[in-house]
Amino acid sequence: MITRRPSSAMVVAVMLLAGAVIAACGVAPARAGALTVMPVRIEVPSTRRFCALTLGNRADRPVTVQVRGYGWTRDTQGNDTLTPDPAFVINPPIATIAPQTERLIRCSLPAAHPGAAPEQQWRLIVDELPDPTLARPGVVQTLLRISVPVFRADEKAAPRLTAAITATGVRLSNVGTRYVRVLSVSTPAQDTPTLSDRAFYLLAGGTLDLPVERTLLAASAVHVKTEEGAFDVPLSAAK
């Protein structure tokens, strides 16, 4: 996204999705140039509210960041919707990190209410702010954005996948109570294209439509590779 500032300088905001660089164990730091984030995925037990994020600055100049918390949902096309959540408290919300140092950011999730879903999802958005000492007419600053998923779930929560043929392809649903991170979706047939080779989160209760020609869907199941392993999910009959 390109944003024009009143000074006429152009600032390019580059989003680095932490999920794209997450390690299988979910604890490897996300590195976006000089800025590092640890962890790249936060999981909080259902009985707790507090979490923390460590931001590191590997540059030779100070970096100022703004951290905000949003409620997070996804639609059937895989588009994220982030809703500002004033009950998601960040401390400090803006921090300047000295060169070659780290800064701990603490956060407090909204209180859990009786009857809440077994899993709740948010995202922490870390935005690098413009450095006023670098502001020059016509100068381009590349500002980094890192998005960290936050989950709070009951320890017994678990995903459960289903798949159905639709008029436009395959609908993959998570009818369970915990998210699953899908790495790829394919069918056993060798001449059938991979339905998805890009990693994505399928949230609890979420659905994703994967477009593919129905004439290519001769298989009775789809092969879903996740961080927890690979599974063959039966395809229900066309409706």
Domains defined for the chain, CATH in brackets = 2-153 (2.60.40.10), 161-236 (2.60.40.3970)
* Strand order, beta sheet including 50-57: 30-32, 35-38, 50-57, 101-108, 89-91
Using alpha carbons, select from 168, 175, 66 the residue that is nearest to residue 117.
175
In this prediction, residue 178 carries a pLDDT of 96
Distances (CA, A) of 222 to 177, 212, 230: 21, 12, 10
Residue with token string 């998210």: 179
Name, in order, each residue with C-beta under 8 angstroms of 78's C-beta and a sequence gap of 6 or more: 200, 208
Could you list the pLDDT tens digit for every one of the 239 residues in the chain?
A: 222 223 323 333 333 333 333 333 344 555 556 899 999 999 999 889 999 999 999 999 999 999 999 999 999 999 999 999 999 999 999 999 999 999 999 999 999 887 778 899 999 999 999 888 777 787 777 889 999 999 999 888 999 999 998 888 899 999 999 999 999 998 876 666 688 889 999 999 999 999 887 655 667 888 999 999 999 999 886 55
C-alpha triplet 143, 2, 77: angle, nearest 5°: 95
Using alpha carbons, select from 154, 134, 148 the residue that is nearest to residue 45.
154
Distances (CA, A) of 13 to 76, 117, 228, 234: 26, 34, 33, 41
| HSE value, Cβ hemisphere, 13 Å, CA-based, for 147 | 16
The beta strand positions in 109-211, using DSSP E, are 119-128, 140-153, 161-165, 169-174, 180-186, 200-202, 207-211
How far apart CA 81 and CA 74 sit, in angstroms, is 6
How far apart CA 217 and CA 235 sit, in angstroms, is 10
Using an 8 Å Cβ cutoff, are 131 and 5 in contact?
no
Per residue in 196-218, is it b (16+ CB within 10 Å) or e — as a string?
beebbbbbbebbbbbebeeeebe
How far apart CA 165 and CA 55 sit, in angstroms, is 44
How far apart CA 167 and CA 169 sit, in angstroms, is 6
pTM of the model: 0.81
In this prediction, residue 10 carries a pLDDT of 33
